[in-house]
Every structure is written in structure tokens, then in C-alpha cells.
Structure 1
């Protein structure tokens, strides 16, 4: 019984959203049907993205030693860590929700918190395919301007976010990453 309660607590948002979908389906069948279709489509899309990400994360976890990650993306990594974080985020494939397990592994391996923030920011705004599409539709000048502003913006936000977190908050983030 205790295990069931733990599972219910863990998936409470999913259960709540499923219940809301069911209520909508019964009250407004046409809207509910569309809502269920979209929910299923999104679920299948997520299930098609997450397994490859977890396989790559498993390989990263096994192949890259913690000492190597600390050296190149840890506290003393400096500019190299920033560049690597931007590269990982920009070269990555998949939607933003796939970035969070990657961030967890980076934290677990000893990456500096601001470098993880940079990777997340780059993942969401500086993806290479997005830049190519944007350049073809909006023009190279616009794309380069947005990219430069994003690079500086992401770096500044990551730096200040890390600095504004209290030491115990940073420690809690690392602890949660290690316990996952």
C-alpha cells in the first residue's frame, strides 16, 4: 500500500491531467476527443525521443570519467567549459524536455552549474538546424544578430543565476542530481 501511495504521488500530475481529459471527454465529446488525440500524439512523440536520449546518457555516464568532466566542464574549466556547454546544447537533437536528463548527468559528473545552465539555454535557442532554417527564412543578418545576442544573454543569465543561488541551494541541486 505504501508503494502504491509513493507511485501515486510521483505521477499525480499525469493522473490529474488524465482525469481532466476524461472529464472534458464526457462533458464536451468533440473537444475531449481532440484533447485525447493530442495527448496520445504527444505521449508517443515523447516515447520516441526519450529512449535514444537515455541510451546516449548511459554511454556518457560509462565512457566519460567524472575527472574528465570536472576538468573540462567543472569549477575550474573556464572558457573551455563555456564553449563545450554551448556546443553540447547547440549540436543536440531533440526537444527541450530531453535536455533535462542530460543536465542531470552533467551535474552528476561534476559540471559547473553555470555550464549546465548554458547548455540548457543553448539547447533551447541556438540549435544548428534552427539557425539554418532561420537564416533561410529571416535572413543571415537577423540570424547572426539573434545568435550573438543569445550567446551573450545565455552566458550572462547562467552566470548570474548561479551566483544568485545560495550555497545550500546549489548543494541541493547537485544532491538531487546524484540521487537520480
Structure 2
């Protein structure tokens, strides 16, 4: 029981604070509960499809294939594939992290995982299409031309500043999931 309380202490404290706020300001408390409910509903619609696709990726794509195309010796092909997969992804950024964990289990190079997460957050195809229609082709393509090299540079800098031991810990934690 103590472990359960310790594990969910932030959630419990948040519920207590929202309860106190609701007592003093019913409108604000109900509004915060509505926002929390909306977020939970959104996550409930996004997370199951992500996990289904992850299960399929885990079963259908052999580790050797992932290492060949996105592993340590993949070079530019791994970078390009990371950008394409991240750009083609759908859903909010929190959906990228379970995918990154599966990539780690499959032996994908750390830099390519960082590039994938950067592409997921910045270069999504639907967002590009929206920008072209709303802000113009010049703006959208200029932003993309700046973002892609930026993502790659940041990924390599992060990988350079992260120790080999820390990277091993990250991969080891991903294996536990």
C-alpha cells in the first residue's frame, strides 16, 4: 500500500489540490476537471493505436533489419529513414517515446532515435501541408529547410555530450519496458 501511495503521490496531491480549489471556486475546479477529462480522452484515443502499431513493428520487423537500416553502421540512410518515419507519424509527441523505446530494443543508433523524435515533433507531413495552405509554400519549405539540418545537428550534439554509460543505461531501461 505504501508503494502504491508513493508511486501515485503526485496524482493524489493533484486531486487534493483540485478538490480544495473546487471548494473555494467551483467554476475553476470544474473547468480544471473538464480539461483533465479532455486530455484523458485524447490520450485514450491515441495510445491504443500506437501500441498496436508498436506490437506489429516489434513482431514484423526483425532486429537485424533495423540494425542494417538504422543501426550504428547505417550512416546517411539511417538519418534519412529516421526523418521519414518521424515525419510520416501521426499523433502527439508523447506517442514518439514508446516508438523510440522499441527502436532501442531493435538496436537503432542513438543519434537516429534523437533525429526520429525531432522529426516527429517538427516535420510532420500534415503540419507541412497545413502551413503551405495557411502560410504559403515559401514559408513552409523555408521552415522545413531550416528544421531538418537543425534536428540532425542537435541530435549529433546531444549524442556527443551524452556519455556512453548514460546511453547504455537508456537502452537498458528501454529493454525493461
Q: Does 1:19 align with 2:19?
A: no
How do residues 143-162 of structure 1 correspond to structure 2 at under 5 angstroms?
143-162=140-159
- Alpha-carbon distance between aligned partners in 2 of 1:161 and 1:63, rounded to the nearest angstrom: 30
Aligned length: 177
Question: What is aligned with 1:111?
Answer: 108
Structure 2: state its 5+ residue gaps. Answer: none
Residue equivalent to 1:37: 34
1: distance between equivalents of 2:115 and 2:2?
37
- Aligned counterparts of 1:18 and 1:73: Cα–Cα separation in 2: 43
Give the 3 Å change call, closer, same or farther, for CA 8–61 of structure 1 in structure 2. Answer: farther
- 1:119-164 alpha-carbon deviations (Å, 9 max, x no partner): 1111111000100101111111111110011000000000110111
Give runs of aligned pairs for residues 19-168 of structure 1, distance below 5 A. 19-168=16-165
Q: Matched residues in 1 for 2:41 and 2:169: separation?
A: 33
* Whole-Å separation in 1 of the counterparts to 2:159 and 2:170: 11
Deviations 1:13-46 (A, max 9, x none): 3333223222221221110000000100110110
User: C-alpha root-mean-square deviation of aligned residues, in Å?
Assistant: 1.2
Which consecutive residues of structure 1, in runs of 5 or more, have no partner in the other structure?
Answer: none
**Normalising by the residue count of structure 1, what TM-score does the alignment of the two structures yield?**
0.94
Task: Note the alpha carbon deviations across 1:84-140, whole angstroms, 9 max, x for none.
Answer: 110111000111111110111111111111111111111111000100101111111
> Separation in 2 of the partners of 1:11 and 1:74?
37
Q: TM-score by structure 2 length? A: 0.96
